[in-house]
Every structure is written in structure tokens, then in C-alpha cells.
A and B are shown apart, each in its own frame.
Chain A
Amino acid sequence: MTDQSATQQQTEQHQRHTLVALVENKPGVLNRIASLFRRRNFNIDSLTVGRTHKPHVSRMTIVVDSAQANPNLIAANLLKLVNVIEVRVISGEPHVSRDLALIKVRSDDPESRNAVTELCERYPARIVDIGTKVAIVEIASQESIVEALIEELRPIGIVEMVRTGVVAMGRGTRIQDTEYEPPVKIKQNSNGYQRFSV
């Protein structure tokens, strides 16, 4: 990424919105959501999905470019999906968001090793693997901080990188949960999916 595009990305960040969706943990739900975004031409910046403390509910954090679509309209469209239990646009209210990145950088000389170590002290990052050629830096923080670290690591030499995308949660008593319990028993089917037999 050039410096110019990095700056551009910084300014665009103001136009992003974060939506949190609670969905039924059923096969095909991710496909339904991805299909909706494609069909309606909503641009996804990042989408993460994972389990919650309730086995029948999954939680998605979706970051969208709101210059292209009104986040409330996206939320209304998501809610039309039968398997989507609840959606909230949380970017307008106090919330905590985290993006996790693993960044593999060159560490084949003392200068690069020192530079990486020094950065890990300044940032909420740590070295989770180091060898004679490369090191893996881990950071889990707000997206903007992750991006700042990436820019500082870039001159040292990034050779590989992976990011999870943003996960987010409202602060304080802004609790997003569902009362919903699946009717009756949980079965395990042959595909390894958890199925809810009704």
C-alpha cells in the first residue's frame, strides 16, 4: 500500500459503519448474508462470524462503507432474512472494537530485530514467533492502531499478513443478546453441523 492510499483509507474510515448481527447457528446462514450483500450491492469492508455463549446463536460483526449505502437500510435488509435474529448499527454509540492481525516481518539482521522489538513496546503488540529469518507480530486492537503498526512495520519488510476483521461490542449495559431458545433437542448430523431438530 502506498502512503497515498494509506491516507485515503484513513479519511474513508469516517464513512464506515459497524453492524452487529445475531443469527441462528444454522447451515447456510453465512451464505444468505453474503448473497444479500452481493445482491444489494452493499460493499463489505470486513465480516467476521463466530459462536457466542449460546450454541444456537452466532454473532457477526460487519463493517460497511456507508458512502455507498445507508447502514440502517442495510440493517433492515439483514432483518428480512428469517435466520437473522437481531441487528444493531453500533458505530453511532460507545463501543469497543478489535481487529487482530498476525504480521510476519523480516528479522534477519540485528537492526530489523531491534526495530520490531521496539515497535512491540510502543504498540499493544507482541512477538509470538521469532527465528533467524522472520518474526510474527501479533496485535489485537482498534483498527486504526493496527493500521498504524502495519505502516511502521512496512519499511522493515512485511512478508506475510493476516487479519481477522473487526469484532465489536457495545460498552456498558448496551447488551445485545436474544431470549431465543431453540425448540427441543440438538442433533449432530453427518456433516458435523450442529442441527436443531425441532
Chain B
Amino acid sequence: MQLTGAEIIMECLLREGVEVMFGYPGGAILPTYDAMTKYPQIHHVLVRHEQGASHMADGYARATGKVGVAIATSGPGATNLVTGLATAIMDSSPVVAITGQVARGSIGTDAFQETDVTGVTLPVTKHNYLVADVDELAYVIREAFYIARTGRPGPVLIDVPKDVQIEKTEFVYPEGDIRLPGYRPPQEAPADQIAAAIELINRAERPVILAGHGILMGRAMNELRELAERAGIPVALTLLGKGAMPEKHPLVMGMMGMHGAAACNYAIQEADLLIALGMRFDDRVTGNLKTYALNARKIHIDIDPSEINKNVKVDVGIAGDVRTVVAQLLPHVEVRQHPDWLARIRDWQEDADERDILHHDTGERLLGAQVINDLWKFTGGEAITVTDVGQHQMLEAQYYPHQRPATMITSGGLGTMGFGLPAAIGAKFGRPDEEVWAIVGDGGFQMTMCELATAAQENVDINIAILNNGFLGMVRQWQEFFYEERYHATPMFNPDFCKLAEAFGVPAMRVTSRSQIEESVAFARSVKGPALVEYVIEKEEIVYPMVPAGADLHNMIRRPKPGEVIQR
């Protein structure tokens, strides 16, 4: 069958099971947009800015575990994808981006809308391709999807010159094994490493499991739970590991790290064994490496061999698929309980409970923590929440416990403001049966709020909660703590978010007191299509606890107990 390059792209996407792609047309990708008209099975979502397309593909991927697809034209179209690709690689999200490129004869001539896209995206993709021959196209696309979703997942970009899209060739879909000589994600662990890990696990008195995104990506939720329950080991989650184990489970301590639960951080510092599963010891979870978990032996299981011994030296480093490796461990793990250790953790938790803002009298003020906690309550804790970056993100992590995997989507590694709204749109396309809430701040929302138009055009049934404090809240918090309260460039003039939403045809509601939150959830749910709720919250709220950047993990700034005087 003779097909054009553009038609081959569409045929290959069909065979990869792609249902939806997020993109923006332009000169160099037009042949592919034209070919789309022959493939109505694949729904194309017209975004308002290509950054939105890459975040939507990312949100779709994280919500479904499938590969998300973004498409853009050459030059500015492709460079606008970069933030989304960088977000995806930091959080190991499987995304395939297809970009148009100027015709082969024009490459290197500074042609109109030409950018060296494979060069620009090299450090922010798992792999990328410039397709130089239409005969390679089908192989390249197949490889790209395979690389994106296997091993440690990540974004892959395919740059296709315009004339390659136009050229015709005999299309034969490449069946059979993919032959990538240099691509061998590790699977099982060798027996000696399993034995070494078992020795440590069965001997530990104060063990802690650190569970990360790898548990979710590797579908190792059951194995994790079995390990924790069998050996009676408390579990600390990374931000992206939320949902790896039901957060109401008695062994789950909550999130670790900079704004993590104090009990988690103390437990890590006092542990005699850390079992790190599918996480990478990011600086936001370790604090000062020189004082990190000094008493603990460490087992690190991750699919990426280059993560082992990168930040934290470990006693047993296993490069392997976390589900396979934990399953290898399980038969040898002794049934244990650690009552003294768990009691000690419970003491820390009770102390934290006393400090919790929800147990303080806050008068008339509406706090972000209350909004998030009430959203949790009134959505039954069952929604998929997609956050932006900042205080509201950390509050979500603290006050919206998730019982199911892949129901919390956030930009953890890169911390990309503007991620929330587009990623929520992508997530809803992937999981139309689920209630999806974009929880965003007033700052991040304004970075990508043009995607309200996309949500309206597609009538995407998402609910948008803006926590509006009129500040870049997290930056303001740093200025308060570390820059002697010089609030420079953090107070924000904001538009009237409700009027703005209405201008896009999106029904909106403003909430100024806690008593309205339940009604706001009912309102948002009643709208079939996008709905926006603006929560006008306390301007100067602080997210506690906080490990200052580079400080020791146990040296958290804590919220004072009621009646206690703040000491700074």
C-alpha cells in the first residue's frame, strides 16, 4: 500500500492504540494535519499553546499509564513543547511528541520556522529522532512508543521534515521484535542481591519503606503492600508516590521531605534500615545529604541503574523492575511486627496532630488547608486531583489522602507552574469516568489559563479550584523565612477569575468562607463541562512543616502548638 509519510504517522498511531492527541497546527506539520482528516478515530484536541499540549499528553499518560501524544509544528511550535518535555522526563512520564521540521533540503539554512529541535530537546527527552527517510518512519514511531513506555518511562520526540511527510512509500507495518541493541531495561535481580537485601530486612528493628513513583509506574502496589504488612514496616511516600499504598492504611505515615509529615522525616532519620522502592532520593526528600539517615543501612531498588548510588550511597543497590524484585523478595521476608518502633512513630504523629492547623481556631479566615481538606471530604476522597506547583500543591499532598493509585497528578521533579490546568484536561481525556479536579494557585493558573478555551471548546468535564491568595505564596513563604520578609515580586494583581471564566463560557463561583465549600463542590459537579471555583483564601498562610533547602531532614520548622510562641 503506497502511503505518504503523514499517513504512515497516522497508521502507526492507530496501531499504538492512540485515541487522542493534543496539538497545534502550523506550516511544517500541515501534511500530517491534512492526513488526520482520513483518521477520525483519533481525536485531535486543539490547544491554545503548545506547552499545554505537552502537559495534556503528560496528564493523559499519568492518569492512564498509556503513552500521551503531543503534536506541534517546527520552530516555535516545537520549542513551546520543551517545558512539557522537561516536566515529563523529570517525572518519568511516557510521552511521544511529534514535530514538523522544515524540508530536508532546507535543514541547516536558517529557514523560516527552523529550529534544531533534536538538539534543543536532547537533554529533556529519553531519546529523540530526526527522520531522514520516509522508509524509516514506521520503525521510528514504533521504537519511540516502545522506548517511551518501557524501562524508566520518559518523553520521546520525533522530528519529521515536511517533505518526509509528503513523500510516498510502500507501507509495511514492522511486526516482530523491536531490535534496539543498546536498550535493555533491567528486570530481575540476581540471587546474591536478593539474599543481601533479605538479610537486612529480616534483621531490621526500625525499618522504613520509601515508596516512590516507580511503584505506580511499575504497578507494584500489591507487592508494596504485602511487603509492608508482612514485615510490619511503616511506609513513607514521595510526592509522586502518593497513592502507591492507600494513605489511610495504618502503616502509611504520609509524605516525606521538605513539606512532608514530621513523623516521616523523624522516622527516616532514626531508622536502622531504609528500603527505597522506585524513588530517587531527590534533594527535596533528603535535605542535607551529610546528615541523611545516618543510622540506617539502605536498600535501593530502582529500574534506572544510574540512580543507584547517585545521591545516597546504599548498602544494597538493585537495578531492576520494582514489581519483579519485590516479588522476588517476598517469599523470604519474615513475618514481623515492630510494636516499639510503630509506637514511637505514633507519638510523633500525635504531636503533629496537635500542631495541625485544622485543629486550631482560625476564626473567620479561610485557609488553603481547609479548602483542600473539605474538597477531600466532599469528593469522598475519590477524585483525581491534578495540582499546579506551590503552596496549594503541598497542601494537597498533606490534606488530600488518596486511597487509589494514579489519582494524584503533579509536577514533582521539575516543579512546573502552569502544569495543573492542561494536565487535568489531559487526565480527563484519559479517564472520562472519573471526577477530575484541577487544584491550582492564582499564580500558576495564569501561566496556562488560555487552556480554559480548550476545555470550553472540547467541553471537558473538569472542575477547577483556584486557591487565590493574591500572592506567589510559596515564594512569599521563603521571603518571610529566609529574606527578612521583603515581599518583592510576589504580591499579584489578579483578574476577576469568575468573570474571566464566564468570558470563556465556563460557569464559575467565588467562595470566601468555609461554609460555602460544600455548595461549591455541588455546583462544580452539577456543571457538565468545565467549571471554575475561586477560593479566596488567607493571604499569608504558611505550609508547615518545612525543611529549609539544604537543612537536615529532622530540623523542620514546625507549626507552634496552640498557645506556643513562635520562635524564629
**The one of A23, A24, A31, A85 that contacts B119, using a Cβ cutoff of 8 Å:** A31
Q: Annotate B304-347 by CB proximity to A: 1 below 8 A, 0 otherwise.
A: 11101110000000010000000000000000000000000000
Chain B residue nearest to A36 (CB atoms) is B123
Whether, in the assembled complex, A14 has its beta carbon less than 8 Å from a beta carbon of chain B, the answer is: no
Q: Are A80 and B304 in contact (CB under 8 A)?
A: yes
- Scoring B174, B304, B305, B309 by chain A CB atoms within 10 A of each residue's CB, the highest score goes to B305
User: How far is the CB of B493 from the nearest CB of chain A, in Å?
Assistant: 38
Whether, in the assembled complex, B147 has its beta carbon less than 8 Å from a beta carbon of chain A, the answer is: yes
- Scoring A31, A76, A85, A187 by chain B CB atoms within 10 A of each residue's CB, the highest score goes to A76
Whether, in the assembled complex, A83 has its beta carbon less than 8 Å from a beta carbon of chain B, the answer is: yes
User: How far is the CB of A191 from the nearest CB of chain B, in Å?
Assistant: 8
Contacts of B174 in A (CB 8 A): 198
Whether, in the assembled complex, B250 has its beta carbon less than 8 Å from a beta carbon of chain A, the answer is: no
Main secondary structure of the interface of A (DSSP, over half): mixed
**The one of A76, A178, A183, A195 that contacts B308, using a Cβ cutoff of 8 Å:** A76
**The one of B130, B181, B305 that contacts A85, using a Cβ cutoff of 8 Å:** B181
Contacts of B568 in A (CB 8 A): none
Q: Are A82 and B180 in contact (CB under 8 A)?
A: yes
Q: Which of B10-18, B132-140, B469-477 contacts A (4 or more CB under 8 A)?
A: B132-140
- Please count how many residues in chain A sit with their CB below 8 Å of the partner chain's CB atoms: 29
Q: Are B181 and A24 in contact (CB under 8 A)?
A: yes
Q: Annotate A180-198 by CB proximity to B: 1 below 8 A, 0 otherwise.
A: 1001000101100001011
Chain A residue nearest to B138 (CB atoms) is A198
Q: Given A35-B123, A80-B304, A73 and B181 touching (CB < 8 A)?
A: no
Distance, CA A83 to CA B179, complexed state (A): 12
Contacts of A79 in B (CB 8 A): 182, 305-306
Q: Annotate B115-135 by CB proximity to A: 1 below 8 A, 0 otherwise.
A: 000110011001100101101
Q: Are A73 and B309 in contact (CB under 8 A)?
A: yes
Contacts of B139 in A (CB 8 A): 198
Contacts of B147 in A (CB 8 A): 82
Distance, CA A31 to CA B120, complexed state (A): 12
Whether, in the assembled complex, A84 has its beta carbon less than 8 Å from a beta carbon of chain B, the answer is: yes
Distance, CA A82 to CA B308, complexed state (A): 19
Whether, in the assembled complex, B482 has its beta carbon less than 8 Å from a beta carbon of chain A, the answer is: no
Whether, in the assembled complex, A50 has its beta carbon less than 8 Å from a beta carbon of chain B, the answer is: no
Chain B residue nearest to A193 (CB atoms) is B132
Q: Are A197 and B133 in contact (CB under 8 A)?
A: yes
Whether, in the assembled complex, A53 has its beta carbon less than 8 Å from a beta carbon of chain B, the answer is: no
Contacts of A31 in B (CB 8 A): 119, 122
Whether, in the assembled complex, A98 has its beta carbon less than 8 Å from a beta carbon of chain B, the answer is: no
List A38-93 residues whose CB lies under 8 Å from chain B. 39, 70, 72-73, 76-77, 79-86
Whether, in the assembled complex, A28 has its beta carbon less than 8 Å from a beta carbon of chain B, the answer is: yes
Distance, CA A170 to CA B31, complexed state (A): 51
Whether, in the assembled complex, A126 has its beta carbon less than 8 Å from a beta carbon of chain B, the answer is: no
Q: Are A73 and B179 in contact (CB under 8 A)?
A: no
Q: Given A31-B122, A35-B122, A73-B310, A180 and B181 touching (CB < 8 A)?
A: yes
User: How far is the CB of A178 from the nearest CB of chain B, in Å?
Assistant: 6
Q: Given A73-B309, A76-B306, A183 and B179 touching (CB < 8 A)?
A: yes
Q: Given A24-B182, A31-B122, A73 and B136 touching (CB < 8 A)?
A: no
Distance, CA A47 to CA B56, complexed state (A): 40
Contacts of A83 in B (CB 8 A): 182
Q: Are A195 and B133 in contact (CB under 8 A)?
A: yes
Chain A residue nearest to B154 (CB atoms) is A80
Distance, CA A190 to CA B304, complexed state (A): 37
Q: Are B132 and A80 in contact (CB under 8 A)?
A: no
User: How far is the CB of A181 from the nearest CB of chain B, in Å?
Assistant: 9
- Scoring B122, B130, B182 by chain A CB atoms within 10 A of each residue's CB, the highest score goes to B182
User: How far is the CB of B563 from the nearest CB of chain A, in Å?
Assistant: 49
Distance, CA A28 to CA B126, complexed state (A): 14
Distance, CA A70 to CA B313, complexed state (A): 11
User: How far is the CB of B146 from the nearest CB of chain A, in Å?
Assistant: 10
Whether, in the assembled complex, A16 has its beta carbon less than 8 Å from a beta carbon of chain B, the answer is: no
User: How far is the CB of A159 from the nearest CB of chain B, in Å?
Assistant: 37
User: How far is the CB of A129 from the nearest CB of chain B, in Å?
Assistant: 37
User: How far is the CB of B458 from the nearest CB of chain A, in Å?
Assistant: 34
Chain A residue nearest to B139 (CB atoms) is A198
Distance, CA A23 to CA B118, complexed state (A): 19
Q: Given A189-B132, A197-B133, A198-B139, A76 and B182 touching (CB < 8 A)?
A: no
Q: Annotate B495-520 by CB proximity to A: 1 below 8 A, 0 otherwise.
A: 00000000000000000000000000
List A144-198 residues whose CB lies under 8 Å from chain B. 178, 180, 183, 187, 189-190, 195, 197-198
Contacts of B305 in A (CB 8 A): 76, 79-80
Chain A residue nearest to B319 (CB atoms) is A76
Distance, CA A183 to CA B123, complexed state (A): 28
Contacts of A39 in B (CB 8 A): 123
User: How far is the CB of A39 from the nearest CB of chain B, in Å?
Assistant: 5
Contacts of A23 in B (CB 8 A): 182
- Scoring B118, B132, B139, B179 by chain A CB atoms within 10 A of each residue's CB, the highest score goes to B132
Q: Are B306 and A81 in contact (CB under 8 A)?
A: no
Q: Are A82 and B183 in contact (CB under 8 A)?
A: yes
Q: Are B133 and A187 in contact (CB under 8 A)?
A: yes
Distance, CA A70 to CA B308, complexed state (A): 11
User: How far is the CB of B138 from the nearest CB of chain A, in Å?
Assistant: 9
Distance, CA A105 to CA B69, complexed state (A): 60
Chain B residue nearest to A185 (CB atoms) is B135
User: How far is the CB of A32 from the nearest CB of chain B, in Å?
Assistant: 7
Q: Are A70 and B309 in contact (CB under 8 A)?
A: yes
Contacts of B304 in A (CB 8 A): 80
User: How far is the CB of A14 from the nearest CB of chain B, in Å?
Assistant: 21
Distance, CA A86 to CA B123, complexed state (A): 21
Distance, CA A76 to CA B310, complexed state (A): 10
Chain A residue nearest to B127 (CB atoms) is A82
Q: Are B309 and A82 in contact (CB under 8 A)?
A: no
Chain B residue nearest to A34 (CB atoms) is B122
Chain A residue nearest to B179 (CB atoms) is A183
Contacts of B123 in A (CB 8 A): 35, 39
Q: A198-B136, A198-B174 are in contact. List 14 more A-B contacts (CB 8 A).
A: A35-B123, A72-B309, A76-B305, A79-B305, A80-B304, A81-B127, A81-B182, A82-B126, A82-B147, A86-B182, A180-B181, A189-B132, A189-B133, A198-B135
25 contacts between A and B (CB under 8 A): A23-B182, A24-B181, A28-B118, A31-B119, A31-B122, A35-B122, A73-B310, A76-B306, A76-B308, A79-B182, A79-B305, A79-B306, A80-B306, A81-B182, A82-B126, A82-B127, A82-B182, A85-B181, A180-B179, A187-B133, A195-B132, A197-B135, A197-B136, A198-B135, A198-B136
Report, nearest first, the 9 A-B pairs whose CB atoms are least far apart.
Answer: A180-B181, A76-B306, A76-B305, A198-B139, A85-B182, A82-B127, A77-B306, A85-B181, A84-B182
